[in-house]
Structure 1
Amino acid sequence: MTSTNRTLYNTLKDGIQNIVAGEKEKIEQQRFSLPVSYPDFCDLFIAFGTYCIFRRNQSHGFVIDENNEWLIQQLYYYVTNAPSFDGDLDKGIMLQGKYGCGKTVILETYSLLHNHIVKKFGLRLPLFTFIKSVTLQEQIIKQSVQSFTQKTLLIDEFGRELKTVQDYGNISRPISELLSVRSDLGVITHGTTNFTLETLSSDEFYGGMIGDRLKMMFNFITLKGDSRRK
């Protein structure tokens, strides 16, 4: 039996432990634990949600009610890294629900609140990029997939874009390719969608392989209620 060279072993062990620690730090840097109470979080969310709605030239304010209260609470658990979160804190959030039920406003409000905190206090955290899936696909075609692999994306209306596009005669799948790369890199992604995971995993959408990655990337959370649009 070959004996272990302890000096070599210790050098290799120290090396991999340093590498693992570096990767763990990268993961932690993607997350920020907001040090506020739940009532204060709700007050902030209502204020930023109202601002989000006003930017749409609508004069009514954001309201927390029986349809979105559970979701707001889950978002609070998520942004405070609380074990009470009903999902995996290392995954992003995909809000599902009917058309007009308020998914986009809630996710954009989350984006506005996060970015305001980062800018206000000069935190070394990535800003959220809130973008519709159709626009994201257009920008990938004009630039490259690599331009969007490291950004923290909040993809609105996920699944609404064309699944294949013609690029100088070649058929490409920009969003599928982006999701595959981001999944491999472990970059946090959030989104809203009108479709279920089963539908998104179908051949008419992204297919089973990407669908399997979606399960690894997202906590699928359903927002209840009908359209709030007036």
Structure 2
Amino acid sequence: MLLMCYQHEVRKRRIPFQEDKETLEKIEKAAKWLTGDYKVGLLLYGIVGSGKSTLGKAICNLIGILHNSSISSERKGVFRVSALDLAKNVANDPMYFNKLKNQKLLFIDDIGTEPASVKSWGNEFSPVVELLYARYDRQLFTIATSNLKDSDFGERYGIRIADRMEEMFERIYYQNKSYRK
């Protein structure tokens, strides 16, 4: 089912799905993460254009399909936000930031593209760091994508958050070529 959701995400951009070994392996790893007893988060990181966001969106779509087709009357889905939008909105709306910290299911796209810090009501802080701290403390389901390398997380966000990310996230590294070319 995850493969079908991934194919749908690719087709939405009006490009053909390229069924290659690397993509299928990553989809399989993500499916195992979803169905197994693994870490609470999944980090998809690596080369630009390699399918990280596509897989993240496919996982979100699959979760939405499965939750919304269940007997339960409660509709659930994964709340999605880009790191750049997070930084823009958090400065203007503290309630929005609290909403993100408490989402049961969250997908943060493109960590590392946001400004390192923002000012909100005269205070300076790093929205991604604060959000990851909060989600780590609560052990909440979090999917994230990034073009950063392993060593870049510590350099950009500090060793404390990099260490927490190590504990919190299963990782799938992308080193294949960009599909956008």
Q: What band does the TM-score fall into relative to the shorter chain?
A: 0.7 to 0.9
Alpha carbons of 1:198 and 1:122: their partners in 2 closer, same or farther (altered >3 Å)? farther
Cα deviation digits, residues 80-128 of structure 1 (max 9, x gap): 21xxxxxx70331101121111111111111111111111224458421
Confirm whether residue 45 of structure 1 aligns to residue 2 of structure 2. Answer: yes
1:95 to 44, 50, 75: 44
Larger radius of gyration: 1
Question: Structure 2 counterpart of 1:207, which letter?
Answer: G
Measure the CA separation in 1 of the matches of 2:131 and 2:59: 23
Contact 1:163/1:173, CA 8 A, preserved across alignment: yes
Higher relative contact order (CA 8 A, sep 6+): 2
Contact 1:68/1:224, CA 8 A, preserved across alignment: no
TM-score when normalising by structure 1: 0.70
Structure 1 moving runs of 4+ over 4 Å = 122-126
Measure the CA separation in 2 of the matches of 1:122 and 1:108: 24
Map 1:46-195 → 2, pairs under 5 A: 46-56=3-13, 58-60=14-16, 62-81=17-36, 89-123=38-72, 126-144=76-94, 145-151=97-103, 152-195=105-148
The offset of 1:185, in angstroms, is: 1.0
Alpha carbons of 1:126 and 1:215: their partners in 2 closer, same or farther (altered >3 Å)? farther
- Structure 1 alignment gaps of length 5 or more: 1-43, 82-87
Measure the CA separation in 1 of the matches of 2:76 and 2:116: 28
Measure the CA separation in 1 of the matches of 2:3 and 2:34: 16
- Structure 2 alignment gaps of length 5 or more: none
- Give aligned-pair identity as a percent: 24
The offset of 1:213, in angstroms, is: 1.3
Q: Which has more strand, going by share of residues?
A: 2
Measure the CA separation in 2 of the matches of 1:137 and 1:46: 32
Aligned length in residues: 177
Contact 2:46/2:147, CA 8 A, preserved across alignment: yes
Alpha carbons of 1:69 and 1:103: their partners in 2 closer, same or farther (altered >3 Å)? same
TM-score when normalising by structure 2: 0.87
SS in 1 for 2:106: strand
CA RMSD of aligned residues (A): 2.0
Question: Structure 1 counterpart of 2:157, which letter?
Answer: Y
Measure the CA separation in 1 of the matches of 2:15 and 2:26: 23
Measure the CA separation in 1 of the matches of 2:64 and 2:130: 27
